[in-house]
Structure 1
Amino acid sequence: MSAVNVDVEREGRGGWKQDPAGVQSNILAVATSEFSANGLSGARIDEIAAKTRTSKRMIYYYFGDKDGLYRRVLEEAYRKVREGERQLDLDHLPPVEALTRLVEFTFDHHSSHPDFIRLVMIENIHHGAYLAQSDLIGSLNAGAIEKLETICRRGKEEGLFREDVEPLELHWQISALSFFNVSNSATFSRIFGDHLYSASGQETLRRHVVEMVLRFALKASP
């Protein structure tokens, strides 16, 4: 029996063998914090293992190596945001309300998940190399565009949306407005003060982001 399998058996006697999903979830939660705080190069498997309820060998057993763990962290981060979008059940809402709900969700998700924003920033430093290795992330994000395609199609059919509104561009705009709010919060508030990052400031920004996106998408009033 290999050393890794011996280690798996030992941890199994402590109860973890009966909950492999729990083991992996615990590892991914800790790894998310470590990678988002320290980047891919700065994060250490030893440090991640020390903060989990398992061992370094179990991390290698489930994820292969640090690159494999980082890739899974990215996949899980994107899976969560797309699952949140799916739960909005937008197909059963009128197009304007559906677009409003999607913008509100994106703003709220990014605001409450700064780790996700930092992971995306880190992956941009790596020129999207690990995203390119994941078929799962590609399919998840294709679904996000398909959702906007449906909203835009219905909005155009009902004579509410401009005919030249493109779902991909709309996704870019929603993402950009919601992303900057988190990615540049430290520098923006340091330079201009933290008023916009108070509870009332964030509520105002959220409302105005929705208004900006709707003004872009909707036909002008006659």
Structure 2
Amino acid sequence: MDQRLTQPAPPAKRARNSSKTKADILVAGRAEFAERGFEGARVDAIAERAGANKRLLYHYFGNKEDLYRAVLLDAYQEIRRGERALSLDQFGPVDAMDRLVRFTFRHFLANPWFPRLLGTENIENARFLKTLPDIQALHSPLVGQITTILQRGAEAGIFRRDVDAVQLYISIAALGFFYVSNMATLSVIFARDLGGVAMLQEREAQAVQMVLDYLRTQPS
């Protein structure tokens, strides 16, 4: 008998999953840039974290600067996707604002790399963010969504009419951003475990209450 007929066939070559590889590189990149900043981050370390060949990293993303831009854009796209998924137009003004504040707080909490990444970009004076062509369009729907909630609240006699949507969102983001970014130092200063479940729940509830109280306050 021909021995070639009895030998097992060689294993099929596994097809490359480019989408997964790109996603893995982005996740590895966000971790490396968040931990070490743009200057300190190394492409070799990102490739190792992603379990990817460094040549593939360059093939998919170009150079270190382009990868950082992709990581930054992906970070903003992720939070915007989460906000759209809230479908806030289906809820009354108070419930809609409640949900937005809680989502924003929880997003920072669940993704501590995000505040660190934004801190890195602020250290860079937003020089990479300024080069992203879609960044304004990415945020415009959020501002429009908040504006609509405020208008519905004002028409219902619930919210004041002099609230700027951009200023309001900055305040909402700050309530979560500052807490998460400074959790370690504040825990030491005030001798409280700010990462404990009870403290997190209290902080989230307070953030919601602060925003709603502000919106309901009539100017003097």
TM-score (norm 2): 0.90
2: CA distance between counterparts of 1:141 and 1:184? 26
Paired residue type of 1:129: R
1: CA distance between counterparts of 2:204 and 2:127? 32
- 2:156 counterpart of 1:153: no
Task: Determine which structure has more spread, i.e. the larger CA radius of gyration.
Answer: 2
Alignment partner of 2:68 out of 43, 67, 70 = 70
CA deviation string 1:132-186 (max 9, x = no partner): 1112222222222111111111111111111111111110110111100111112
Name the structure 1 match of 2:200. 202
What SS is found at the alignment partner of 1:195?
Answer: coil
CA deviation string 1:86-122 (max 9, x = no partner): 0000011111110010001001111111011100011
CA deviation string 1:20-67 (max 9, x = no partner): 111100111111111111110111001111222321111111111001
2: CA distance between counterparts of 1:158 and 1:125? 42
Task: List aligned pairs for 1:167-178, cutoff 5 A.
Answer: 167-178=165-176
2: CA distance between counterparts of 1:15 and 1:52? 18
2: CA distance between counterparts of 1:30 and 1:153? 41
2: CA distance between counterparts of 1:142 and 1:131? 15
- In structure 1, the gaps of 5 or more residues are 1-12
- 2:148 counterpart of 1:144: no
Q: 1:14 to 1:44 in 2, by over 3 A?
A: farther
8 Å Cα contact 1:26/1:52 also seen in 2? yes
8 Å Cα contact 1:160/1:219 also seen in 2? no
TM-score (norm 1): 0.89
Aligned-residue RMSD, C-alpha: 1.2
1: CA distance between counterparts of 2:82 and 2:205? 20
Name the structure 2 match of 1:57. 55
1: CA distance between counterparts of 2:40 and 2:141? 32
8 Å Cα contact 2:183/2:194 also seen in 1? no
Name the structure 1 match of 2:210. 212
1: CA distance between counterparts of 2:193 and 2:33? 29
What SS is found at the alignment partner of 2:120?
Answer: helix
Shift of 1:190: 2.1
Task: List aligned pairs for 1:20-59, cutoff 5 A.
Answer: 20-59=18-57
Aligned residues: 206
Higher helix share: 1
Higher mean C-alpha deviation, range 158-167 or range 208-217: 158-167
Name the structure 2 match of 1:123. 121
2: CA distance between counterparts of 1:31 and 1:163? 42
Shift of 1:197: 2.4
1: CA distance between counterparts of 2:127 and 2:136? 12
Higher mean C-alpha deviation, range 91-100 or range 187-196: 187-196
Alignment partner of 1:133 out of 120, 131, 134 = 131
- In structure 2, the gaps of 5 or more residues are 1-12
Alignment partner of 2:162 out of 164, 170, 173 = 164
2: CA distance between counterparts of 1:210 and 1:198? 19
8 Å Cα contact 1:196/1:202 also seen in 2? yes
Name the structure 2 match of 1:9. none
Name the structure 1 match of 2:6. none
